[in-house]
Amino acid sequence: MYQLANNYNSFSTNGQDYSIEHIIDKEFKSEPNRYMLGNLLVLNKNYNAECNDMKSSFEQNQLSIYLEKKFQIYKKSNYTSVQMFLEDNNFIDFNSKKITDRTYEISYNYYHSLILKDK
C-alpha cells in the first residue's frame, strides 16, 4: 500500500509521516468488507490519530455521520493519493461495493505500476 501510494506522494523513507487508515473502522461490524484493501488509505499520522480520537463518539448506527467527519479530516491532507481518493469518493455512498471496487483498482494499479515495471 505504501509503495503504491508513494507513486503519488513523497513519503519519508523511515515511515514517520504516514500511517494506514481504515476508512470504515474495524469496530463498525455492520460493514462486511471493512478488512479489505479498498478500505485502507495511506494518511498523515496526525490525521489518522485525529480520526481515531473521535471514533468513540459514534455508535454503530451513525456510520454516515462518522464518515462525514472523517472525510473532513482527510481534506486537510496534502497527500496526492488522499486528494485523489476524495475526488473519486464521498462519505454518502462509501460502502461495501465501493470498497470492493477500490480493492480491485488498487490491486490492478499495484500490479501494473510495481510488478510489471520491474520486468
* pLDDT (tens digit per residue) in 24-77: 999 898 899 999 999 999 999 999 999 999 988 888 889 999 999 999 999 999
**Rounded Cα–Cα distance for residues 66 and 64 (Å):** 5
pLDDT for residue 112: 82
Predicted TM-score (pTM) above 0.85 = no
Q: What average pLDDT does the chain have?
A: 86
pLDDT for residue 4: 53
In the predicted structure, residue 105 carries a pLDDT above the cut 60: yes
pLDDT for residue 74: 97
46 by DSSP, 3-state: which?
Answer: helix
Give the range of the structural domain holding residue 31, as residue numbers without chain letter: 2-118
Contact (CB, 8 A) for 110 and 2: no
Which of 8-12, 16-20, 45-49, 77-81 bottoms out in mean pLDDT, i.e. has the lowest? 8-12
Contact (CB, 8 A) for 106 and 2: no
Query: Which region, left, alpha or beta, applies to residue 107 given φ > 0 means left and ψ of -120 to 50 means alpha?
Result: alpha
Number of domains in the chain: 1
**Rounded Cα–Cα distance for residues 11 and 29 (Å):** 32
